[in-house]
Every structure is written in structure tokens, then in C-alpha cells.
Amino acid sequence: MGLFDFFKKKPQTQEEEQALDKGLEKTKEGFLSKITKAVVGKSTVDDDVLDNLEEVLVTSDVGVTTTLKIIDRIQARVARDKYVSTSELNTLLKEEIQTLLAENNSSDFENFNYGDHKPYVIMVVGVNGVGKTTTIGKLAHQLKQAGSKVVLGAADTFRAAAVDQLKLWGERVGVRVVAQAMGSDPASVAYDTVKSAVANGEDVCIIDTAGRLHNKVGLMNELTKIKNVMQKVVPGAPHEILLVLDASTGQNAIEQCTQFTQATDVNALALTKLDGTAKGGVVIGISDQFKIPVKYIGVGEKIGDLQLFNKKEFVDSLFK
């Protein structure tokens, strides 16, 4: 089984669906009420409605590039169907967003099973404050629930708080944490973690890294060094470079994604704090612009509120 081959997805549980709906409440309220205002007094989708809709999408943090693609698609649909009533707009918009996201050549991840790499090595990157360590803790919990043996590496050695927080998560979810003294070489921690994962027969190894967006060259050099030492132990590691972004920062999250994708080979994204923001539209913009699969979304405070991202379920929930 290949790196991104997963077993058939279990249907979304009622609990997961409710958590997603609740997590997107603030985004939905803003989004749907703006759409309602965009069509007030109009019976058909005309140029005015499309202009208003463009403003709705941009102000919902979908981003200008992605917004223009969506508007073009709706314009083409209106031209083809000749008459589209404003009452159909929500359905039309939902379908076009889902189609756009489906065209990104990135499959939804089906479950917390990582194929035949053992240990499967995940390097987690992102700036401080985005919920990186919390995401690692919640991910470790989900993996353990799925039957995997997990080890965490505290390679953010510049902040005592980061190491302590990771250790607390390790205790909370019952997984091993490899740490060294403050100020140790992050690559050395990563090396020790991967080596001990091999020795202990662990399935998944998650490495936390320093959350500093220092100049790109410095960031690139540091992350490259960490990757290189891990590859000495496990050829091909890390299998996943997971960039964690805070959805509540909107367009700033897109800027961070640009910086990190230029500095390292990010191949998975996690968007956190969706429950605390009206800017959930940024998930659509990031999915479309970067063509990197959004793998996880954080929809609440609870330990189980890190969900695997599913494009259809996300957009369905947004329009409920």
C-alpha cells in the first residue's frame, strides 16, 4: 500500500458531524447572512448579484484568486442555463466550490492509517501560536486510538514552554516523548527520536520544530538539516511535512503558507481554531491556491476535535 493509500472511509459519525457544524458556526453565520444580503430584492443572478457575491467571498477570506475562479464558474453556469433564480444561488455556489476543490488532485485522507512506512515520520512546522503543539497532541491521541504506537520528538528546543507542553501532551495521551536540554541542536533531538522509534518498533514518529519565521534561508537550512539527519536512520523520512496554520488569521495564514512552502517541501496542511473564527473561508482559498492537501482541521477544544478534512463534508456543513 502506498503512502497516501488508505482504507475505505468510515461514514462521518453523528458526533463528528455535529462537531464540524458547531466548529463552523461563526463562519456560516457571516457567510450565509452576507449571501442573503447580496441577493436582496433580486429574483435572478445578474451582474449586480455576482459583484455582491464576489465581495462576500473576498470578505469571507476565500481570497481574491479563488474568488475570481468561483465567480467565473457561476457566470458560465448562468450563461449556459439562461435563467438562474437567486433561490438556487446557495446550491450553485456549493456545487461550484466542491467541484473546484475536487479538481485540486488531492484526495481526502480517509483515516488515521499510514500505509506501510514504519515508522511513518511526520515533521510538523508552523509559527508559534498557531496551535502546533496542541495539534501534535491531538493527532497523537487519534493515532493511538487507531491502534498505532506513537513517539513525539521535542525538537523546538528554543522555548522551554514548547518542550514542557509537548511532555504534558505525552503524559495526557500516554505516548513517549523524546527531549533534550534547552538549547540543544534540534536535529540531534530529531535523530534520537527517529532512532528510538526504530528500536522500539513504533509506528508513527512526530517531530515538533521551532515556530520561528526567521529569514527563509535560516528556516530552510534548519529544516533541511533536521530532514537530513532523519534520513540517515529512515531513508525517505520525513514522509509528511505538516504545516499547521491558524484559520483565525485569515489572509495571514495564506502568507505563512507561501513562506513555508518556499522553505521546505510541505505536503500536508492542518488548519486550527476554526471554531473561534468567522474566517473559515480561508480553508477553501488555501486548498485551491496551494494544491497541498488540507489533511486535518481543528474544530473545537476537545481532544477528539481534530478531524480529518473532507472537502464535501466541509462545504456541506458551510451551507447548512
pLDDT in tens, 140-169: 999 999 899 999 999 999 888 889 999 999
The arithmetic mean of pLDDT across residues 225-244, rounded, is: 95
Block residue for cell numbers 538549547:
183
Beta bridge partners of 103: none
Average pLDDT of span 211-227:
82
Give the per-residue pLDDT at 131.
92
Residue entry with cell 480529518: 308
Average pLDDT of span 309-315: 90
CA separation, residue 18 to residues 221, 300, 307, 316 (Å): 42, 11, 12, 12
Q: Is the confidence at residue 287, as pLDDT, over 60? A: yes
Please tell me the least confidently modeled range out of 77-91, 153-167, 209-223, 264-278.
Answer: 209-223
* For residues 247-256, average pLDDT: 90
pLDDT at position 126 over 60: yes
Instruction: Give the span between the Cα atoms of 244 and 91, in whole angstroms.
Output: 31
Percent pLDDT > 90 in the chain is 57
- Average pLDDT for the chain: 88
pLDDT of residue 158: 85
pLDDT at 11: 63
Give me the residue label for grid cell 531513508. Answer: 235
Measured distance between the N- and C-terminal CA atoms of the chain, rounded to whole angstroms: 36
Torsion from C-alpha of 38, 316, 2, 303, nearest 10 degrees: 110
**Sequence letter at residue 319:** F
DSSP summary character for residue 85: B
Q: How far apart, in whole angstroms, are the C-alpha atoms of residue 30 and residue 16?
A: 22
Q: 3 pLDDT exceeds 60?
A: no
Asked if pLDDT for residue 29 goes beyond 90, the answer is no
User: Residue 163 to residues 63, 90, 156, 179, 190: CA-CA distances in angstroms?
Assistant: 35, 46, 7, 7, 13
Of 28-42, 252-266, 280-294, the range with the lowest mean pLDDT is 28-42
Looking at 74-83, 98-107, 109-118, 156-165, which range is the least confident one? Answer: 109-118
For residue 278, which of 28, 75, 67, 64 has the smallest C-alpha distance? 28
Q: Pick 214 or 45 by higher pLDDT.
A: 45
Length, in residues, of the chain: 320
The answer, yes or no, to whether residue 115 has pLDDT greater than 60, is yes
> Binning pLDDT at 50, 70 and 90, where does residue 4 land?
very low
Residue 6, pLDDT > 50, answer no
Whole-angstrom distance, CA of residue 48 vs CA of residue 191? 58
Between residues 181 and 111, the one the model is more confident about: 181
Assign 183 to helix, strand or coil.
Answer: coil
The half-sphere exposure of 302 on its side-chain side, counting CA atoms within 13 A, is: 10
Q: Which of 2-6, 133-137, 223-227, 307-311 has the lowest mean pLDDT?
A: 2-6
Dist. CA 222–CA 207, nearest whole Å:
13
pTM over 0.85: yes
